[in-house]
Structure 1
Amino acid sequence: MDLLKIQLLWCLLLLSFFKGFAQQETLKDNTNDVKIDSLYREDQFYFAFTYNTFENKPTGLNQQKFSIGVGAGFLRDMPINKDRTKAFATGIGVTYNNYNQNLGISGTAQNATYTILGTQSNFDKNKFTQLLIDVPLEFRWRTSTYQSYKFWRIYGGMKFSYLVYSKSVLNNNEGQTVITNNNDFNKLLYGLYLSAGYNTLNVYAYYGLNPLFKSAEIDGVKAKMNALNVGVIFYIL
């Protein structure tokens, strides 16, 4: 009987040992699952929607209807302080801009002519569109931590854009005139931008530093209007 008691005691001890070992391993596995990344980056995809207008407009030029812009891209984050609340970022993106206005463009891509059309009763449709490849360079300030993706931010910098495609369309009583890749458009555009907000949704503004046209003239006067685009931008990790 004593031998049986001893064997039972050994069995209980062994079971207790393996149970404790298993619990320790489970705890270790769970601990490994929780990884704190103190060296996080705010690498982000972005999507922007803007209302497009002009600055430095020629006399008589007015915008018609609603002109929109749509942009998207990716930004690589490069923190510069220990708390990672300040950083530089760069990346690549694409923008489509649409401008509805009364600047009539006729002729050809190599030899275009420009006139102010007056009231919209003189034409059915008049616009030009641009497709741009963007390279933004920005400085970032934010209140982010490695534990939270919801934070306040102010991002600003310069954006360089290369015009890969343009198209102007004029419908009036003389018919339809369509010009693609007008040589008078500036191929390289650059400007300042600023975005600010909380979490995903942020306000956004871009101001072009050089004109949209490089050589267009209206009644002998060079067209020097530049872009002003305001709207919202979404950042997604």
Structure 2
Amino acid sequence: MKILIALLTLILVSTGLKAQYLEEEQGLVSRYRPGAMWFYSGFSNYDTTKLRKYDRLIVDILYNDWQGDRSPLKSPWSSIGFNVNVMFDVPFTKANTIGLGWGVAFSHYNNRTPIGFESNYTEGSTTTFPLIFPNNLDWSKYNANYIEIPLELRFRTKGYQHFKFFVGGKIGYQLNAYTKTKETIQGKSYKFKNYNFPDRNPRRYGLTARVGIRNWSVYAAYYFSGLFTHENSVQLSPITAGISIALF
């Protein structure tokens, strides 16, 4: 909740600034910064000869789901995760209408799944089974954290209030993966974590796309890599979609 309140405050600040600098519509260079960090120039004055650069610090708030042996859109809408992307914006044209974005990202995948995971350590595989609610079980979720390298080809229209379309992909490495459950037993709540997946897939790669205006966009990612590697394991690949704000 605190994170959402902070993001909302930043969004309101960034949106409220747009009317003050309409003279920037036709310019190719600017001493102003985009987004919620509009006035930030670091420890020295901003170089007015530099091209405007955008989408260098991007936060994605995402609905997390998966596809494969389980049909998409079956996960609860409370399956909310996030990405934090630190990017370099590399212009190819003088007006920065075509460019490249690359950098590093931290991704948190969160799926409040109604299924449980069962590991076969003899075979080295992972299967699933349906969970029964409530039956003392309050909720269950699957979490995974990644470090990723995103790469985007960026297209924008001219001007301050520009339309943008980014398409690209990302590759990443899984830091950890676990299930977490909360149970109520005789009036007391207990939380349990399980990290023991014998065939978790540490590699992740997929396609990404962003469409939006100025520092707002809609984001989606489709991953080709499965969560588990054994041929007899459940076949699940993450998919995510949500909204993004470029803070800098």
TM-score (norm 1): 0.71
Residue 159 (str. 1) matches residue 170 (str. 2): yes
- What residue is the counterpart of 1:198 in the other structure? 213
In 2 relative to 1, CA 107–84 (structure 1 residues): closer, same or farther, beyond 3 Å?
closer
What letter corresponds to residue 86 of structure 2 in structure 1? Answer: F
Cα gap change, 1:109/1:40 in structure 2, threshold over 3 Å: closer, same or farther? farther
1:140 and 2:151 matched: no
Paired amino acid for 1:235: A
Query: Does 1:46 find its partner at 2:58?
Result: yes
What is the TM-score when the length of structure 2 is the normalising length?
Answer: 0.68
2:197 is matched with which residue? 182
* The one of 86, 89, 110 aligned to 1:98: 110
Match of 2:75 among 47, 57, 63: 63
Unaligned runs of 5+ in 2: 1-44
Partner residue of 2:130 out of 117, 142, 145: 117
- Taking structure 1 as reference, are residues 108 and 73 closer, same or farther at Cα in structure 2, changes over 3 Å only? farther
Q: Hey, which of these two has a bigger chunk of helix by percent?
A: 1
Query: Aligned partners of 2:114 and 2:88: how far apart in 1?
Result: 40
CA distance, structure 1, for counterparts of residue 48 and residue 181 of structure 2? 58
Q: Which runs of 5+ in 1 are unaligned?
A: 1-32
Residue 58 of structure 1, CA deviation: 3.8
Q: Letter of the 1:158 partner, please give it.
A: G
Whether the aligned pair in 1 keeps the contact of 2:119 and 2:197 (CA below 8 Å) is no
Quote the residue 1:72 is aligned against: 84
Deviation at 1:116, TM superposition (A): 1.4
CA distance in 1, matches of 2:46, 2:83: 36
State the aligned residue count: 197
> Aligned residue for 1:8?
none
Task: State the structure with more CA Rg.
Answer: 1
Which amino acid counterpart does residue 129 of structure 2 have in structure 1? I
Letter in 1 for 2:82: V
- Checking the alignment, whether the CA contact within 8 Å between 1:102 and 1:116 is kept in structure 2 is no
Q: Which amino acid aligns with 2:130?
A: L
- Secondary structure at 1:120 match in 2: coil
Task: Report the alpha carbon displacement of residue 66 of structure 1 after superposing the two structures with TM.
Answer: 1.7
SS at match of 1:66: coil
CA shift, 1:34, in A, is: 10
| CA distances 1:14-53 after superposition (whole Å, capped 9, x unpaired) | xxxxxxxxxxxxxxxxxxx996425443361000000111
Decide which moves more: 188-197 or 65-74: 65-74
Q: Do 2:65 and 2:74's aligned partners in 1 also have CA atoms closer than 8 Å?
A: no
Whichever residue aligns with residue 227 of structure 1, its letter is P
SS, match of residue 225 in structure 2: coil
Question: CA–CA distance in 2 between the matches of 1:199 and 1:224?
Answer: 38
- State the Cα RMSD in Å: 3.1
**Which of 203, 212, 234 lines up with 1:223 in the alignment?**
234
- 2:227/2:236 contact within 8 Å kept: yes
**Percent of aligned pairs with the same amino acid:** 22
1:25 — aligned with what? Answer: none
Aligned to 1:211: 226
Q: Distance in 2 between matches of 1:205 and 1:157?
A: 11
TM superposition shift of 1:194: 0.6
CA distance in structure 1 between the partners assigned to 2:98 and 2:126 by the alignment: 48
Equivalent residues of 1:106, 1:179 under 8 A apart: no
